[in-house]
Structure 1
Amino acid sequence: KIEIDNEASERYTVLRIDALDTIGFLYEFTNALALNGIYIARVMIDSVGNRVRDTLYVTDARGQKITDPDKQRQLRAAAVLVKHFTHLLPRSPNPEAALLHFRNFMGQLFMRPDWPDELATLERPEVLEALARLLGVSDFLWEDFLRMQYDNLFPVVRDVDALAHPKTKETWRRELEAALRAAPDIEAKREALNTFKDREMFRVDMRHILGYITEFGQFSSELTDLAEVVVEAAYRLCDEELRAQYGEPRLEDGSPAGLSVCALGKCGGRELGYASDIELMFIFAGNGETTGPRVITTAEYYERLVHMFLQTIRARREGIFEIDLQLRPYGRMGSMAVSLEAFRRYFGPDGPAWAYERQALVKLRPIAGDPELGRQIEALRDQFVYSGEPFDVKAMRAMRERQIRHFVTGGTFNAKFSPGGLVDLEYLVQGLQITHGHRHPDLRRTNTREAMEALAKAGILSPGEYERLREAHIFLRRLINALRMVRGNARDLTVPPMDSEEFAFLARRLGYGDDLTRLHQDLTRHTTYVRELNARLLR
């Protein structure tokens, strides 16, 4: 019950609020009043059982009573919103953080000219509960997504029901094409592309945080579909811009010289998660010249295209949808765009590629550009990776030792790089794929989960080994996603100490509630098994 009384006091408007007692209400409500330019002269609090009766003596910024009907409506709306939100705080994974971020949310809400009208939907319990959960996930999520994407947050949270339904790849493609058509010039198109990317990434993240994505792998699948749509559109955008200046790139015999954009790593495996980068390789059919008006070599054309592509897709934060080309031949020292012949020479049996570079090709998958060229590249990949030669376990062990020295701090556990972590699991699966993929073509999968299933069907993993490895994979992927969500740092995957507040929050985020011991036991059980199976099967 909210009562606004301008008769009881000569100088002040008296605001009486009678409601259930909730943590943080008065603090947040007084902050909301200050944001609306309302001065509080006196506060009286009277508690009866589980109810509280707050009486506030207030004026506007000029020291006058609040008599304007619109201002009174804002007072009532702010009180209702804050009261409902604080009532739902216990459902947030981190109520303290949610309360802090809610204050910032209110500040931005009040800057909207029509905010009282928008509260009709915000006051719905399911909307406020979603808001409490979102704002209490992590400081990173607030700073880098919710606060910075406030214009995206409000309509997404307001229409919570729409989040229950995923968007298809074709839907995303149509929406992005429409946004690009509406943009008047190249810079506006780039802006439209990045706005679309950030908004739709935000939507997928919200679907996951709010529990609308329940199947393991679905979150990664949606993020990967979105990444492919954005990469494909960015490639076309750059190609159209360059063709207007240089014409069509051709081979020396005059035939068209296509290009294939190939994904590797997590994108290649359709395993993207929170704060994942996008590993790509740009491979073109061969050298020649463009058709003009300005004539340059085909190699130069595609080199310029990749440079333009890197300028087109903007990462909001390091490691989040950041384009990574380091798996190309010779890494940072090599050309941005790689000819098919250069790819063949570098990764072929007699080429200079290191064993770990050939191993990385297990994940190679064409996602944009010339489909026929993509099929040729896949054939070369199978020829080089699945040659019948056994996996080079010695080279892999040496690589793992370097990774542990470089990425793992003594006395800590890194969910990705420590022994028994995700890298050991993935290298085990890839090693078995490489060793047996020549005789079993069905093992040539870029997705780790699908590869494990194929290994089990081929009898290379026993049913028991497959089941335990699958469980470990799900656990480690969920753990890494949770760590990245909490910290916002794609590279800091060290599990916090068990006796820390951060570990307790991690446990809640992973669905363990307050059972920290069970999370620690599961971590030990899964990583011990991965380490033992890796040592037993890769010798």
Structure 2
Amino acid sequence: MLSAGRLAPDLLMRAPEAVALLGDGDGGLKPRSRTHLEQEMLAAVRRADNAVQGVTAARGVRRRELFRTSAADIVGSYGTESQPAEADQGALVDLVGGAVSDLTAATLAGTLRAVVREGWGDTLPTRFAIIGMGRFGGHELGYGSDADVLFVHEPRDGVDEQEAAEAANKVVAEMRRLLQIPSADPPLLIDADLRPEGKSGPLVRTLTSYEAYYRRWSLVWERHALLRAEHVAGDEELGRRFTELIDPLRYPADGLGDEAAREIRRLKARMESERLPRGADPKLHAKLGPGGLSDVEWTVQLIQLRHAAREPGLRTTRTREALSAACAAGLISSEDAAVLDEAWVLATRVRNAVMLVKGRAGDTFPTAPRELGAVGRYLGYGPGHAGDMLDAYRRTARRARGWWRSCSMAGREVLPGPPCGF
């Protein structure tokens, strides 16, 4: 584990007591449930004298659990003398994505409780909920991912709207500050750029404000982004009502029109043009390159926008689950679903490998030979086979790229094929 890269050793050096997890058999590396994590963090907050101490304790739990997940990922990828490497790479991707997403949700819940407790006692003057977006809402976070969120609140009975809004904004500002205070624990960055009107829009809105905005002004990209929206922390009833509000937008009864599909194609092309790093090889960029994460995810999301109103199985925030549902509904053949799933799993594992090896997030293969070899080892390639790894990645991505082109241009996806079994 220590030879795999920088992330796991760095986490262990900051919390050496976590080494005990490695001696606890299979149970020591099994990710803990979100409920268990949240209970531990809330208990730590209750014991703390103030919000800073409470969030520090929650971040310590997060550090330990990131180590647990990274160790489980490494052992599953490399194997041991007594247990061979995990054959189902998709299972490892799901393990990491689910564990890190649950951990992030629990950390936000603990931080929210600490902030409210210190500033307002037991009751905030407004109901407050956090909605996970993007890979967070999809249960697909990586080790170095930010938390993409929306904030929604609703004034309690008898509370002035301005007072409620001020309280909600103070909560958000303090949560962000506490989760980024420099310390031995990794920071958790909160990103709310997917909110209505983007960076220029209000950071926090009432449920009524969201309803008015989405009814009159919502753009294609905003409806598209809502496909991954899921309540992750705060008031559950308010989170449920927000989900009910956005369901008709993200699962439109009349599907997706041609103009909206063209707009999505334009947005994706613009994103790739503006965000691909200068000098990077696009064919090896796991997120924005041909056949990378965005190709697969946007393909699946186009299918959801077109058909989710009629196919309940497509109403999920998770990419692989939606892809399986599309296959089961006959919207994509088993062979093509397998191609997309393989590409998505591989691209996700590349990003996880880069973080494990380098200790910082990245979307493309390292150039340093030693780091590239470590990524290859994680992906199952022996010494001297880095070139084979890169060739295999290009082939897998090239097959997936063709499906984005055909899906984005077509009005329907139904293709013949055998039953799903990928």
Is the TM value for this pair above 0.5?
A: yes
Corresponding position of 1:344 = 211
Corresponding position of 1:191 = 56
Query: Separation in 1 of the partners of 2:308 and 2:35?
Result: 33
> 260-269 vs 218-227, which deviates more?
218-227
Corresponding position of 2:272 = 404
Query: Separation in 2 of the partners of 1:398 and 1:524?
Result: 24
Alignment partner of 1:510 is 2:379:
yes
User: 1:289–1:332: structure 2 CA closer, same or farther, 3 Å change rule?
Assistant: farther
Corresponding position of 2:82 = none
Residue type at the aligned position of 2:201: G
User: 1:415–1:383: structure 2 CA closer, same or farther, 3 Å change rule?
Assistant: same
Corresponding position of 1:426 = 297
Structure with bigger gyration radius: 1
Contact 1:288–1:299 (Cα < 8 Å) also in 2: no
Query: Separation in 1 of the partners of 2:57 and 2:193?
Result: 27
User: When you count helix as a share of all residues, which structure comes out higher?
Assistant: 2
Q: 1:526, CA displacement in angstroms? A: 1.5
Contact 2:29–2:69 (Cα < 8 Å) also in 1: no
Contact 1:277–1:319 (Cα < 8 Å) also in 2: no
Corresponding position of 2:288 = 417
Corresponding position of 2:40 = 175
Corresponding position of 2:347 = 476
Corresponding position of 2:4 = 137
Instruction: State how many pairs are aligned.
Output: 389
User: 1:375–1:319: structure 2 CA closer, same or farther, 3 Å change rule?
Assistant: same
TM-score, normalising length: structure 2 = 0.83
SS of 2:193's equivalent?
coil
User: What per-residue deviation string (whole Å, max 9, x for no partner) do you get for residues 439-486 of structure 1?
Assistant: 223211100011001101111011111122112221111111112222
Query: Separation in 1 of the partners of 2:121 and 2:15?
Result: 37
Query: Separation in 2 of the partners of 1:334 and 1:317?
Result: 33
Match of 2:133 among 264, 269, 291: 264
SS of 1:390's equivalent?
coil
Q: How does 1:4-403 map to 2 (within 5 A)?
A: 133-134=1-2, 136-139=3-6, 141-142=8-9, 144-147=10-13, 149-157=14-22, 163-211=28-76, 214=86, 215-216=91-92, 217-244=94-121, 248-249=124-125, 257-286=126-155, 290=159, 297-314=163-180, 321-348=188-215, 350-351=216-217, 353-387=218-252, 388-390=254-256, 392-403=260-271
Query: Separation in 2 of the partners of 1:320 and 1:457?
Result: 40
Match of 2:315 among 440, 444, 454: 444
Over the aligned positions, Cα root-mean-square deviation in angstroms equals 2.8
Contact 2:295–2:401 (Cα < 8 Å) also in 1: yes
Structure 1 segments unaligned to the other structure (5+ residues)? 1-132, 250-256
User: 1:368–1:164: structure 2 CA closer, same or farther, 3 Å change rule?
Assistant: closer
Query: Separation in 1 of the partners of 2:29 and 2:238?
Result: 38
User: What per-residue deviation string (whole Å, max 9, x for no partner) do you get for residues 74-130 of structure 1?
Assistant: xxxxxxxxxxxxxxxxxxxxxxxxxxxxxxxxxxxxxxxxxxxxxxxxxxxxxxxxx
Contact 2:21–2:28 (Cα < 8 Å) also in 1: yes
Q: 1:436, CA displacement in angstroms? A: 0.9
Contact 2:66–2:143 (Cα < 8 Å) also in 1: no
User: 1:182–1:496: structure 2 CA closer, same or farther, 3 Å change rule?
Assistant: closer
Contact 1:289–1:297 (Cα < 8 Å) also in 2: no
Query: Separation in 1 of the partners of 2:6 and 2:329?
Result: 46
Q: 1:340, CA displacement in angstroms? A: 1.1
SS of 1:207's equivalent?
helix
Corresponding position of 1:4 = none
SS of 1:347's equivalent?
helix
Query: Separation in 1 of the partners of 2:301 and 2:186?
Result: 24
Q: 1:152, CA displacement in angstroms? A: 4.1
Query: Separation in 1 of the partners of 2:187 and 2:372?
Result: 23
Q: 1:342, CA displacement in angstroms? A: 2.0
Q: 1:230, CA displacement in angstroms? A: 1.5
Query: Separation in 2 of the partners of 1:303 and 1:289?
Result: 19
Contact 2:343–2:400 (Cα < 8 Å) also in 1: yes
Query: Separation in 1 of the partners of 2:175 and 2:280?
Result: 41
Query: Separation in 2 of the partners of 1:335 and 1:230?
Result: 24
Query: Separation in 2 of the partners of 1:237 and 1:461?
Result: 47
User: When you count strand as a share of all residues, which structure comes out higher?
Assistant: 1
TM-score, normalising length: structure 1 = 0.66
SS of 1:210's equivalent?
helix
Q: 1:356, CA displacement in angstroms? A: 1.9
Q: 1:383, CA displacement in angstroms? A: 1.1
Corresponding position of 2:412 = none
Query: Separation in 2 of the partners of 1:319 and 1:172?
Result: 17
Q: 1:359, CA displacement in angstroms? A: 0.8
Q: 1:138, CA displacement in angstroms? A: 2.2
Give % identity: 27
SS of 2:4's equivalent?
coil
Alignment partner of 1:529 is 2:399:
yes
Query: Separation in 2 of the partners of 1:496 and 1:370?
Result: 42
Corresponding position of 1:520 = 390
User: What per-residue deviation string (whole Å, max 9, x for no partner) do you get for residues 276-328 of structure 1?
Assistant: 1111111113587649xxx9611111111111221232376999632111111
User: 1:486–1:430: structure 2 CA closer, same or farther, 3 Å change rule?
Assistant: same
Contact 1:275–1:319 (Cα < 8 Å) also in 2: no
Residue type at the aligned position of 2:145: S
Q: 1:411, CA displacement in angstroms? A: 5.7
Contact 1:263–1:281 (Cα < 8 Å) also in 2: yes
Contact 1:478–1:510 (Cα < 8 Å) also in 2: yes
SS of 1:366's equivalent?
strand
Greater RCO (CA < 8 Å, at least 6 residues apart): 2
Query: Separation in 2 of the partners of 1:344 and 1:266?
Result: 24
Structure 2 segments unaligned to the other structure (5+ residues)? 80-84, 410-422
